[in-house]
Chains A and B, each alone.
Chain A
């Protein structure tokens, strides 16, 4: 029987130590561009969708509360993305999990460690377009009782971002729109999970872009730094027995983003019965520091 004290020691080992290692990395290896700037467009870090831009950022908190018919779950995510070159980045992320099942006892602990390499292989500043390829692996170092998966998983995926800044003058007020997305296969090595095709799309409308490039309405701070974001999160079973096992969740939210920080909050709601099996409703937030702008003296990248 795990005691209260031993659970706390487990938390120390699984959560605080990786957090401190990430912080150490942040101190020693931060560098160049933090924001996802492509031409005149500054992309946000979406809530669920993976950001297409390789960049330097420190997600200090990504809290998420989810309620489902099976119980409640809370996670507090954190991560560090570091550019290794202008087009290549390495991300380490994890979370602290707490689950309160409808039937059973609560459990807490660290999630698995995610390790992602991302490479931007196409970029067009005039068209505010960028495409990247990435591979994410998840190391099974987390606490299974809290919901961490028991074995390694891998996810090769493509990411894209496109701003609408090249629309004609007649559609100028649509130029603040942008879309970001990712799509890839999540492959687990254990037998409890089957491969799924995951696709996330984030549609954004940027008040800063409106003010700076289309029409300056004199909107005051902090409203002039707000970006509306609606994300659609799809999961499709690809095994013969899983075909038609499709889940769709919508994540509408709002983000405040300035030169140093992004702060946002969004709701999460199922759009079909399959998604409702896993989620009744949820709330997700993000606090993201743009570390190169906060700590310009730390600029360095190996390539």
Chain B
């Protein structure tokens, strides 16, 4: 009987935890960078666009992607595109060989802000 007394509340608490987690349904979270094209840290031939895929859907109106060369000079990118809910992209002019830094800041659809940066290198001819 004592064992039953002990186990019932514990079992109920554990069950409640499981139900709560299950009820969460579609979870939301910070939007972290899942992958990019060009890939983070890669060396590539001059790309026509930079594409960032996040772990969560983002709000493009409150998001930003910028590209700068080795000297820190901003590259004149095209307008920010949002081809998929979790994807942002910008078109690039013809890039000269060298290292480029992509800086991004996004707001996920559940309002978490995140930001980051990475580099890629355009190989010479």
Residues of chain A touching chain B, judged by Cβ–Cβ distance below 8 Å, are 4-5, 8-9, 11-12, 16-17, 19-20, 23, 26-27, 33, 35, 37, 39-40, 42, 60, 125, 169, 172, 208, 211-216, 218, 259-260, 289-290, 293-296
Contact = CB atoms under 8 A, between A and B. Distances in A.
A60 B112 CA distance: 24
Contacts of B112: 33
Contacts of A216: 35-36, 39-42
A12 B114 contact: no
Nearest to A41: B116
Contacts of A296: 24, 27-28, 110
A125 B35 CA distance: 22
Interface in B69-100: 99
Contacts of A293: 27-30
Contacts of A260: 27, 29
Nearest to A211: B40
A16 B116 contact: no
Contacts of A215: 40-42
The 10 closest A-B pairs by CB, nearest first: A215-B41, A5-B2, A293-B29, A259-B29, A216-B40, A40-B116, A216-B39, A16-B9, A8-B2, A212-B33
Contacts of A295: 20, 23-24
Interface of B is mostly: mixed
Nearest to A16: B9
A9 B5 contact: yes
Interface of A is mostly: helix
Contacts of B2: 4-5, 8-9
Given A215-B41, A295-B20, 14 more contacts: A8-B2, A8-B3, A11-B6, A16-B10, A20-B12, A23-B13, A26-B20, A33-B112, A35-B30, A40-B116, A40-B117, A169-B119, A293-B28, A296-B27
Most buried by B among A33, A218, A296: A296
Interface in B32-56: 32-33, 35-36, 39-42, 55-56
Contacts of B9: 12, 16-17, 20
Contacts of A11: 6
Contacts of B16: 23, 27
